[in-house]
Structure 1
Amino acid sequence: MKRIAWGITGSGDLIKETYEIMKDIKKKTDIEMMVFLSKDGEVVMKWYHMWDSIQKDFPNFKTEGGPNSPFIAGPLQVGYYDALIIAPATANTVAKIVYGIADTLVTNAVSQTAKGKTPVYVLAVDRERGSVKTYSPEGREMELKMREVDITNTEKLAQMENITVLKSPEDIYDIVGVKRT
């Protein structure tokens, strides 16, 4: 794998774990990473005190100006990138993808990429029925109950063409062919 596009949505759940894995992959490989954030992805990076880190670790990242700005859907659709990874993905992003709503930079990128041959990988945060433990920006452990509608949408997402739902952030290592640390 030579180039990947990594889209960050407004999920606080799994953002720190995902970020550390992507930083590790960048350090261990010569994979070119194009990082882009939804409007809420930017909010969450700031809320979780990661804004300075992303500027340092991924200085050429892009932030959403609109569904097609910056223009990344074209290069994704024609195969310039070897993969599109959306991690982590909020329930809102998953629902929009499932129902064909492409009104954000991330959902438009997925919609257009899925039409081509570039594989799309999505780490949906609402994957399993029941409760999950996660952490607040201050590191306080929290328990969240997953909603049935969100789990059902993730299951529908897994059935869509050219989209693979990841089970954990660590699955990204396997996608790019890097040994897990």
Structure 2
Amino acid sequence: MDSDFGIPPSDGESNAFILNDIVAVGNDEIEEFLGLSVGSLEDLSGSIPFEGSAIKQTFLANAGDVLTFDFNFLTDECTLLDVQNGVCEPEDIFNDFSFVSLSGDELDNSFLKILADTSSDVVTSETFFFDETGYQSFSYEISETGTYTLGFGVADADNAFGDSGLLVDNVQLTASASTPEPTATLGLFATAFGVFSFRKKRQIK
């Protein structure tokens, strides 16, 4: 996506966009795609993920390298902001969520964390979504040298109504002091599940 989407990228001229739209797939397919254990998304969110989309990239990293990226969660679901504004009721909130995963042979268990969900602090969005978190930054230090798979996803929780999306940008791997290689911008998003069909549809309009 670029600035025409309504939000300029946090870095450069474009970013990756993931949507749990009609191209979304079941949570079991996402878990298999990202190399996660069965039921891990439900355990993570405390909700039943109905459907979602994900992207991934495999990369080499050294111990001590720091992985960083920017993300922005967007949603049409009822949020706490909408409840405060009288748009919907608390019982209307369904816990759509976005997440990051990191898997590899060097990890005893895959790293899996929610980035933001419908209970996060949001503002009114300038896009076709109602609300967004705005860009936030995330970092993770690599503990062991090896090959890793980084994944990003967004999921519909409990029902398939109300779309949510995730923008990801400025994904970088910064070398540790003991490995003097320069900071690398990962060539992310070569592999996607339930993502590109929406992007092509948007370009046609």
**What TM-score bracket applies, with the shorter chain setting the length?**
under 0.3
Q: Which has the higher helix share?
A: 1
Which has more radius of gyration? Answer: 2
Q: Normalising by structure 1, report the TM-score.
A: 0.27
Q: Which has the higher strand share?
A: 2
- Higher RCO, 1 or 2 (CA under 8 Å, sep at least 6)? 2
